[in-house]
Structure 1
Amino acid sequence: MSAAGEERVPVLVVGGSLVGLSASLFLGRLGVRHMLVEKHSGTSRHPRGRGNNVRTMELFRVAGAERPIREAASVLADNHGILQTPSLTGEEQEWLFKEIDPGGGLAKFSPAGWCLCSQNDLEPVLLRCARELGGDLRFHTELISFDQDRDGVTAVVKDRDSGEHTTVHADYVIAADGPRSPCRELLGIGQTGPGDLFHNVSITFRAPQLADVVGDRRFIACYLTNPEADGCLLPVDNAAEWVFHAPWHPDRNETLEDFTDERCIEHIRRATGVMDMDVEITGKAPWHAAERVAERYAAGRVFLAGDAAHEMSPTGAFGSNTGIQDAHNLVWKLAAVLDGWAGPGLLETYETERRPVASATSSRASARSAEHSHPGYAAAPGAGGGRQSGVLTVALGYGYPRGAVVGADPALPVVPARMQLTGAPGTRAPHMWLQRAGVRLSTLDLYEKSLVLLTGPEGEPWHAAAARTAERWALRLPAYRIGTRPEDDLAPEQGADWAEVHGTTPQGAVLVRPDGFVAWRAQGAAADPEAELDRVLAAVLCRA
């Protein structure tokens, strides 16, 4: 604290929901001191945003949070698929898909897997993990204003309990303050896209009788298509606690006050087909499905993340996952600039990389809503008609044709037609199982706090050059030799060929960023490997 009522931190995070809390976790892992402010008094109490995709779970795995998250999600561990039916009591039903990972094919791509953990269960885990890492997280604290200059951001925050105002001086701000982002409004950043798609009221309720009706149909969600009472049913505990998303039509002058307990109970009974079911309404919360992307992701030293940067239809669970991955992309770059091993220009690549991903993903989410005939969504004729990239490819296979990468093809699509995780620059580095001193780990477990260089036994010149280059650049650059010799650092499991997996030759090398994306790849040896590494590092880290 520099003076009474004033504090100084390298990073101020505005917003304490999934994306803000994830940003705090990632900042803590990289040792970046920060403050988070959230105007609400605590984490979410409403079960929503439950689908955490494989890429998000990879990030939480590396950040040490995967195990407690899966423990918090254990009650829904056996729920899979989306069911569509006019009624839970009728015979007509269709599984839009029954398994998230049919046949277990995901294992060849990732050491992690999908996780169904509702926001009200996930946020407390992230909060606890972030605070254990030293994060200063302040709830019931609201951002009032901010100004910035070339040296930093000066923000005023208010403690909503005491009314006390504090001036916070920060080098950078992460605005993760939701779809109605006050920060985005203050920055004057507009949005592109179709806008609102549909509106729902999310109703939490107790109905123990419903578990018997559902039986062994352990779905993630059930689309109930009775034209007189459609909606989406989601289990909370597969027993007594449930959520129902009822369509809401503000365009027909329908207000939230119209959703009385009596109306909600009647709607749920008709939708499920159980007219004598005892239903106790425990909560209601409006939500809006939209497709929007911010025109810019940054203004000066303030960066948008999550719903502040993009809104997406809920089908496919892309929204919060894209936001969490925004935060991860941004945080390692902030840490690199703050620590002095990257130039400020690296921060410009946040928008270059993440905005195209959001545009492609939001479009795919809307198309998937049309394909699934999501209740409440009256898609335009022909929307979703052509099958596009699958959910896994969108969630895990996206790439960065431009940004903090060298050698990527700028003409490649951000989301490919099929999964291609073969070590190409700008793509998520391949997963392969390794052994180190008797401990099993994935290649993805190596990437978090620094750039990493991978070679094989025949890539010794690259390995030696990395050590000398790191010393000259005052840079952490661990270099791992993957092979079966006693002097190799890591041993591949099951006879896997490191070079083949990473799309190079035995004499080549791969440079991987802290976020697990390939920054550059050498197909073979070089006449002067140090000079080549100098060239690549200068480009990736925006250092002259």
Structure 2
Amino acid sequence: MDSPEVEVLVIGAGPVGLATALQLGRLGVTTRVVERRGSTSTHPKAHVVNARTMELFRDWGVSERVRAAALPVERAVGIGWMTRMAGLELGRIMADEQPGEPAGGSADSSEPSLSCPQDDLEPILLAAVRELGIRVDFGVEAIGVEQDETGVDVTVRRRPGTAEPAPEPTLRQARGEAARESVETLRARYVVAADGARSPVREHLGIRAAALAPAGHLINVYFHADLTEFARERPYLVWWILNGDTQGAFITLDGIGRWTYNFAFDPEREHRDTYTPERCAEIVRRAVGVPDLKVDVRSTLPWTLEIAIAERFRAGRVFLAGDAAHRFPPTGGFGMNTGVQDAHNLAWKLATVLRGHAGDGLLDTYEAERMEVAEFNAAQSMRNAERMAATGAMFTDAAALSAIEEPEGQPDGDALRARLAAGIPAQREHFFFRGQVFGYTYSSAGVVADGTLARRSTITDYVANARPGALAPHTWFRTPDGTRLASVDLVRGGFLLLAGPLGQDWLAAARQAESCLGVEIAAYRVGPGAELADEGGGWQELYGVGPTGCVLVRPDGHVAFRSAHADPGTRADLVSVLSRVLAKSPRPSRG
């Protein structure tokens, strides 16, 4: 083919692939998605949607739909540890006990963290993608990838019995023949492989993603049961169960009848197929503590607790995202969130390069920025798992827990319960992690440093700042007509320049940069009599700029450049600064 069929082909229609396609489509990039599964997920799998991901969903117009499908925030304000759901409570951690972490959100974001199961989330993203006219084909597997200087040829195979999507029937179907396995080649300028932990595309490209020795093997049981009696007075998202029969964790999906139960098993001693629905239902009954409980097991999913990071996230015109690039334990819920945020980092860069407004070097910053985040999140997720194991909440010898249900006053039982309870406060980083969500800072060619020292966040505590590379801190503004806008609402697919009330020259510099580089820059002054009013009154201090200073924010919400106090030289240098960020030489100004 002389020209690509689409600009970007996304391989994989999980949350990361759909998020990639959704953002690309909103940026006007012609996109197609293929997925080897026959449908979206039917097993809940991931469920944590952290506040940063919700900010992205807000930008993409799906946050209200996700919020409607999510567990009500008032049903997810704590984590409990107990012998059985109907048994003795050993301890708990509640959101309202964490300073600055009220139930449903915090002062650091316009959006709350939510729990929305993957089987509910994927259809929402799929519908939004299709509303943009993007074609999504299920039952289509990528079996070969070849690239040249202008594009990528992807050989795909449609599974037997999988019909072609209407309204684009194949010639074979037009002739009335039954759908059967077919092979074709799709061509795109770029490919995003979001095809899962065992990514065939990654394997085809020869990119290694060697996993560390597994820390454990688990079974995730998705079931329906009425547990209202036990959950009514306990608004816990996660229930850790510890007794001599079973050790694991319940996760409530709707606060009523949809649940999962995760527990460890030893593949050296028994095959995962021995965990039939009947056996899993009995394990659930034991974990609840009700022998005659009605349990409807819908599906089971074996999984491995492990870390693996791909050695590269880019191979020419092919990019890895989500589990194809990194996988790590679910302890903390960062897997899906990290992947969706990969998509956010990559999509605007692809769109900008495809429109000729940036050089290829901008695409190199995807790996430079996202690999460091993935490595940190992976390490922290494993630390969370290790701390849980240290309290006996995971992979504990059942014999060691035989005394946990002894009546009070029995020395062995009292001592064991006291030891486990003492370890619970140390698990806070596992569940409350504002610093990890918002506190990461990029350092790459896509950021122009200003020489200031980093202000480090901890896992739990976020230190908001606008140092280049950091996320532009959340704050609220008002327009002259009284409209209330969050800082994230101002970043709408292009660059954003925020200047102090005396920074009118920055607005002129932004117009010049637009003319020279072709990118869109929304530019506003903040302060009395300016385009935006500072609702809280602390914007200049929060962003570290004076009345004549400015910050330039990238389309992904990270600060690209900051000038605390302007002078004629720095204002004139905005074109040069943005050229460095975009890896692109400016064209002559029309002015």
Normalised TM-score (structure 1):
0.92
Instruction: Name the counterpart of 2:388.
Output: 372
- SS of the aligned residue for 2:215 comes to strand
- The count of corresponding residues between Structure 1 and Structure 2 is 533
Partner Cα distance (2:546, 2:143) in 1: 55
1:303 aligned onto 2:303: no
Q: Could you list the runs of 5+ residues in structure 2 that have no partner in the other structure?
A: 163-178, 398-422, 586-591
Q: 1:251: Cα distance to partner?
A: 2.8
Residues 281 and 297 in structure 2, CA contact (< 8 A), matched pair in contact too: yes
Residues 200 and 376 in structure 1, CA contact (< 8 A), matched pair in contact too: no
Partner Cα distance (1:182, 1:281) in 2: 30
* Cα-Cα RMSD: 2.6
Partner Cα distance (1:332, 1:543) in 2: 15
Q: In percent, how many aligned pairs have the same letter?
A: 39
Instruction: Name the counterpart of 2:176.
Output: none
Residues 74 and 104 in structure 2, CA contact (< 8 A), matched pair in contact too: no
Q: Which amino acid aligns with 1:145?
A: G
Q: Kindly report which structure 2 residues correspond to 1:268-283, keeping only aligned pairs within 5 A, or say none.
A: 268-283=284-299
Partner Cα distance (2:274, 2:187) in 1: 45
- SS of the aligned residue for 2:38 comes to coil
Runs of 4+ in 1 over 3 A off after TM superposition: 74-77, 96-107, 373-379, 384-390, 408-418
Instruction: Name the counterpart of 2:439.
Output: 397
1:240 aligned onto 2:239: no
Q: Which amino acid aligns with 2:435?
A: T
Q: 1:438: Cα distance to partner?
A: 2.4
Q: Deviations over 1:334-393 (max 9, x none)?
A: 0110011111100000010000100011100111122233854579xx9x9899796111
- SS of the aligned residue for 1:284 comes to strand
Instruction: Name the counterpart of 1:250.
Output: 267
Q: 1:520: Cα distance to partner?
A: 0.6
Partner Cα distance (1:48, 1:82) in 2: 19
Q: Residues 131, 189 of structure 1: CA spacing in aligned structure 2 closer, same or farther, 3 A cutoff?
A: same
Instruction: Name the counterpart of 1:131.
Output: 130
Q: Which amino acid aligns with 1:114?
A: S
Instruction: Name the counterpart of 2:495.
Output: 451
Q: Residues 357, 413 of structure 1: CA spacing in aligned structure 2 closer, same or farther, 3 A cutoff?
A: farther
Partner Cα distance (2:502, 2:186) in 1: 52
Q: Kindly report which structure 2 residues correspond to 1:112-261, keeping only aligned pairs within 5 A, or say none.
A: 112-160=111-159, 161=162, 162=179, 163-192=181-210, 194-208=212-226, 210-252=227-269, 254-261=270-277
1:45 aligned onto 2:89: no
Instruction: Name the counterpart of 2:471.
Output: 428
Partner Cα distance (1:310, 1:413) in 2: 27
Q: Residues 71, 463 of structure 1: CA spacing in aligned structure 2 closer, same or farther, 3 A cutoff?
A: same
Instruction: Name the counterpart of 2:448.
Output: 406
- SS of the aligned residue for 2:222 comes to strand
Q: Which amino acid aligns with 2:189?
A: D
Residues 11 and 195 in structure 2, CA contact (< 8 A), matched pair in contact too: yes
Instruction: Name the counterpart of 2:173.
Output: none
Instruction: Name the counterpart of 1:493.
Output: 535
Partner Cα distance (2:516, 2:4) in 1: 35
Residues 179 and 310 in structure 1, CA contact (< 8 A), matched pair in contact too: yes
The correspondence for 1:359, drawn from 362, 366, 375, is 375
Partner Cα distance (1:498, 1:240) in 2: 45
Instruction: Name the counterpart of 2:24.
Output: 27
Q: Residues 410, 155 of structure 1: CA spacing in aligned structure 2 closer, same or farther, 3 A cutoff?
A: farther
Residues 4 and 151 in structure 2, CA contact (< 8 A), matched pair in contact too: no
Instruction: Name the counterpart of 2:486.
Output: 442
The correspondence for 2:80, drawn from 67, 78, 83, is 83
Residues 353 and 402 in structure 1, CA contact (< 8 A), matched pair in contact too: yes
Q: Residues 377, 411 of structure 1: CA spacing in aligned structure 2 closer, same or farther, 3 A cutoff?
A: farther
Partner Cα distance (1:224, 1:387) in 2: 17
Q: Residues 143, 408 of structure 1: CA spacing in aligned structure 2 closer, same or farther, 3 A cutoff?
A: farther
Residues 77 and 116 in structure 1, CA contact (< 8 A), matched pair in contact too: no
Instruction: Name the counterpart of 1:464.
Output: 508
Larger Rg: 2
Partner Cα distance (2:566, 2:452) in 1: 25
Q: 1:507: Cα distance to partner?
A: 0.9
Q: Residues 408, 530 of structure 1: CA spacing in aligned structure 2 closer, same or farther, 3 A cutoff?
A: closer
Instruction: Name the counterpart of 1:513.
Output: 554
Q: 1:149: Cα distance to partner?
A: 1.4
1:294 aligned onto 2:294: no
Q: Residues 434, 255 of structure 1: CA spacing in aligned structure 2 closer, same or farther, 3 A cutoff?
A: same
Q: Residues 291, 385 of structure 1: CA spacing in aligned structure 2 closer, same or farther, 3 A cutoff?
A: farther
Partner Cα distance (1:403, 1:321) in 2: 24
Q: 1:446: Cα distance to partner?
A: 1.0
Residues 402 and 408 in structure 1, CA contact (< 8 A), matched pair in contact too: no
Instruction: Name the counterpart of 1:419.
Output: 462
Q: Deviations over 1:187-210 (max 9, x none)?
A: 1111255242222111122322x3
Partner Cα distance (1:236, 1:155) in 2: 37
Q: Which amino acid aligns with 1:520?
A: F
Q: 1:74: Cα distance to partner?
A: 4.9
Instruction: Name the counterpart of 2:418.
Output: none
Q: Which amino acid aligns with 1:138?
A: D
Q: 1:136: Cα distance to partner?
A: 1.5
Partner Cα distance (2:456, 2:535) in 1: 31
Q: Which amino acid aligns with 2:337?
A: N
| The 10-residue stretch of structure 1 (506-515 or 78-87) with the greater mean CA deviation from structure 2 | 78-87
Q: Residues 397, 154 of structure 1: CA spacing in aligned structure 2 closer, same or farther, 3 A cutoff?
A: same
| The 10-residue stretch of structure 1 (460-469 or 389-398) with the greater mean CA deviation from structure 2 | 389-398
Q: Deviations over 1:171-195 (max 9, x none)?
A: 1110101000111111111125524
Instruction: Name the counterpart of 1:322.
Output: 338
Q: 1:328: Cα distance to partner?
A: 0.5
1:55 aligned onto 2:55: no
Q: Could you list the runs of 5+ residues in structure 1 that have no partner in the other structure?
A: none
